[in-house]
Amino acid sequence: MEKKIEQPTEQYEEFDYLSDFYFPLKEVEDKYSSPILKRLRENEIDPHEFLGIEKVEGTGVVKRIEDKADLEEGKKTFGQSFIDFIKDAPEAAAVSTAEAGVNLSNNLVQLFGAGTNMVFKGSEKGDGISQATTEFAQGYNKSSEEIISKLTQYTEDNDVNGVSQLMTDIGIDIAATIPIQRMLKKTGVPSYVATPLSFGLVYGMTGGDKEAENNMFIDSETIHGLNELLGVLPDTPESEIAELVATTFEGTAWGALGDRLVKVFKVVKNNVPAYMNPQTSISMGGAAATGEGAIKVQENAQDNLNVENQNLDEEKKTLNFDEDNQISSPMPGDDEMASAGLGAVFKSILKETAKKLPAKGNGEQFLGQLKNTPGLKQQELKWSGLDDFLKGKKNVTKEEVKDYLEKNTLDVSEVAFPRVSKDADNFNELLNKVKTEKNNLLQEIQNLPQNKNILIDSYNYKLTIVSGKNKTEEMVSMKTLEDVFIGQRLNTYIAPPALQTRTGKVFNKQGLIDDFGKKGDPNTLEFYMFEDSVSGRMTAVRKIDVKDYTNKEDPFSGGKYKFTYKDEMDIKEAEKYMLQKSEDKINRALKAVSGTTKFGGPGYVEPGGKDYKELVFKLKGDGNYPIEKLRYGTGLGNKAITRKEKTEFPYRSPAVHFGTKNEFAHVRFKTRMLNGKKVLSVEEMQSDIVQDMGRNFGEKVTDFPFKNNWYELVSKRLIRYAADNGFDSVAIPKGSTIASRYKQKIDNVVKVNVQPKLTEAGTDPHFVVTYFGAGNRQITRKSFYSEELNKLEKEIGTKNYSQLKDNIDNFVKNRPTEDLKNTRYFADFDKPLILGTGKGKTDLYDKAIPSFLKKYSKKWNAKVYEEELDLGLAYGSEGTGKIPVTIIQLTDDMKKSVQQDGQALFEIFGIGSATAVGANAVSDSMKNNTISQKTN
């Protein structure tokens, strides 16, 4: 009899890069924000059951070693591990030669950083601490022949006591480090990771200047996340490690350790190739220590993971990474531009100006010369920090200034969508392989006699329910399989996509059979189903775990687990599930590395056109976003004082948009045609950071890079893109088009009338303002109290407000008591005033950007004019309507100039001009900087 098949649903409409790509075991996102999970972690209870992941044996609470004998024994083991770590390091970091000493010093410095105790923060050397160690701690960014010599001697002599003393000298709390290393190794973490990770964790807890005061709780999720991270670390650019670490350990005890862990994993990344040899294995998925669900990776170091620097450089070129390992296509690097006879996309006027400084001088002279240089914008000087660097310097050289600017000048990079990388080819190949295996398996199952009248698919699965002597077969959906935790159990045997591309192994079939196979019939899997007596939640366990689960208390509900029945599943049904889940995961990974566009569908773009693209602009590098904010304090006589200070903020744009660290703008565009000419047609450009800074800090943040001129930089980048790709012009949409797309109103107000009012007690004067459009059409009505009148003046402008001011001031001062019902004050505007929810769109697209383009294009005599684009002409259809745009026509001189000479990174035209006014309007309008209500 034909059975009804439940149709599969789309599995990945919403995609979060790190969650889906690096956390393939985390299927239910809402669990990670649950207060239950928070309480479990606070009470040091392993949340593996709640999260639906396998428990890792050996996890738990780590306590400092108090027993002296145990500590001494631990020092020997730990010292030997450290020696092995150094001896087995890659050749580039070896200590066997003096030439390599610098590399090792830098490598270890990443690990220890300023991980020194307080004695190194003063000027005197502590008692009993070697001079070499002191030099290492105080000058950790410099090579030290003595410390290298000392380490070399330790390794040659196998001096574990010397290494232990070194750790203590540097400020590592050995009594806390050793038990953490032990637990990590117990859970299956390789020694070469456990060793540096243990002192990274301890330093993160202590800051390197005190003993660890608290215990550390290491749970199953942390170890699973660690194994996932190690699986992708070799292929992860260093610039993305901080993001990877933050996301992997978010919410866990390690989540608050921040930069310390990032440094550790950068060191591990640099050393991973040497350790990943045929004798080394990493547990991936499942329980790392017990082998339950583990996939043991044994890869040839030379053929697979041991990618030498030369190969890495070639791969970076193929993937189009910039110097910070950001995929930056289509913004080529300076070298690539030079080889093509082109200049950099953006140039630093400050760097060029610094080349003209005298050979020597003092800080004040240099700063004065720079500030008075025509064309140099104070914003670039401000955010470089050069002004602070030069302050008070009596002697400074031009070379020192140039060196400082090379390391500190603000620069931008971009991420382009769509993009294609080498990883995408690997994932496509893997995807085809998995699809072929899945289809072959489906056909094999379909050909079985018992399935003659049943349509077999990969989203529904046959289970046999065994209750006593009764057996019942049923088909269940993927969702149902996961609701009863069978799906989660199977998930732990699936390798992450990044690992599959290297091993070719999709899942660990033998591990699954070993854990769940039926005695005497290993191709039948047994899942013993337990029900929570309070919540009714079902969980599936192995036969060997039945005794442990019987009457076990559920940590969330307080109920007791009770065995209810057994589910049996043919191994081919399990394979079908795992192949389908693997296909879903690979699709998500493919989407991540190929960078498919996010907002190219209906509702986000105008009809027609082709070759839709998205460009995201961000500050280059791994640091946080620099900001200037107000700092409040008290002076003499407790007088309140306020001053501005520069600091940093860890900004990331909203995940519903692009979720990019340090993003300050993005733009979306298509290719269209106008009178037979190729037009770069902007769909939308915006900056989330203006709104987000206001949300996070209110008025405390007074400035940050590109606050008022982000749209200038975006416009210049589009001009360069157009010049490089054969466009004849760039088209900017009008605000009405964008506002209409997102159902926002743009009201043209031509006059207002104001009705003064008092409360019944004759106090609190306030004013009801009615706004009118053409034809005396009433648009809206607002109320303002006397202390809010500055908002009314700002909204309608000082000139228009002046028609009301005398009457309003008289009313506020004298508060007449006569009947006010028919009293009105009037103001008629010389030109319509734009108000409404779409006002910000008009300020940006109709004022700020066109004004900038008109001024910017003058030196090339490039024409800027109003036009209409026929959407139908873009792709040959008829009558799809027209949209109003501002066109900047690219002249040959303009193309040549922006290609060969580059364009200034910082530039704001005309203080007090329409552009500056537009910039302020853009910054002040909180609703301007959102794509739409659909994505907020």
pLDDT in tens, 362-395: 988 898 888 887 777 788 888 888 888 898 899 9
As a whole number of angstroms, the distance between CA 147 and CA 142 comes to 11
Most confident residue range from 13-27, 231-245, 819-833 = 819-833
What are the residue boundaries of the structural domains of the chain, listed by start? 173-209, 217-250, 358-406, 422-593, 610-744+838-927, 747-833
- Other C-beta atoms lying within 10 Å of the C-beta of residue 189: 26
Q: Which range is least confidently modeled, 419-428, 497-506, 542-551, 732-741?
A: 419-428
What span, in angstroms and rounded, lies between the C-alpha atoms of 95 and 104? 7
- Alpha-carbon gap, residue 65 to 77, rounded angstroms: 14
SS3 283: strand
Inter-axis angle of helices 68-87 and 160-170, nearest 10:
100
| CA–CA distances in Å: residue 254 to residues 218, 243, 276 | 8, 14, 25
CA neighbours closer than 13 Å in the CB half-sphere of residue 343: 14
**Alpha carbon separation from 160 to 79, 82, 134, 202, 900 (Å, rounded):** 4, 8, 19, 20, 59
Q: What is the pLDDT of residue 680?
A: 97
Where is pLDDT greater, at 346 or 40?
346
Four-CA torsion 287, 293, 298, 303, nearest 10 degrees = -110
Which residue, among 82, 272, 280, 95, has the nearest Cα to 195 in the 3D structure?
82
| Helical (H) or strand (E) element with 884 | strand 882-889
**581 contacts: CB under 8 Å, gap ≥ 6:** 487, 490, 491, 494
* pTM recorded for the entire structure: 0.51
Alpha carbon distance, N-terminus to C-terminus of the chain: 49
Q: Which two tokens stand for residue 531?
A: 């029900």
Which residues, 6 or more positions from 324, have their beta carbon under 8 angstroms from its beta carbon? 237, 239, 413, 620, 621, 622
Tell which residue, 489, 482, 47, has the closest CA to residue 293: 489
Q: What tokens appear for 911 in the block?
A: 């203080």
The pair of structure tokens assigned to 357 is 């400084």
Quick: pLDDT tens for 840-897: 899 999 999 999 999 999 989 999 999 999 886 444 444 457 899 999 999 999 999 9
- Residue 798 CB coordination number (10 Å): 9
Per-residue pLDDT, 486: 93
Please report the pLDDT score of residue 160 as a whole number.
Answer: 60
Residues 356, 372 contacting (CB under 8 angstroms): no
Cα 932–chain centre separation: 21
Which segments of 8-130 does DSSP mark as H helices, in order?
Answer: 17-22, 35-42, 48-51, 68-87, 101-112
Output the CA torsion sign for 62, 246, 48, 462.
negative
Say which residues have a Cβ less than 8 Å from residue 591's Cβ, sequence separation at least 6: 12, 15
- Decide: 731 and 885 in contact? Cβ < 8 Å: yes
Predicted pLDDT at 932: 35
The predicted structure's pLDDT at residue 690: 81
Strands 216-218 and 60-62 come out as antiparallel
pLDDT band at 480 (very low <50, low <70, confident <90, very high): very high
Q: Write down how long the chain is.
A: 936
Residue 502 is which amino acid? R
* Cβ contacts of 435 within 8 Å, gap of 6 or more: 583
Lowest mean pLDDT among 22-31, 147-156, 529-538, 781-790: 22-31
Q: Is the peptide bond before 765 cis (omega within 30 degrees of 0)?
A: no
The pLDDT tens digits for 174-205 are 777 777 888 887 777 777 677 777 767 776 66
Closest CA to 909 of 686, 667, 711, 693: 711
What per-residue confidence (pLDDT) applies to 924? 38
Residue 390, phi then psi, degrees to nearest 5: -85, -20
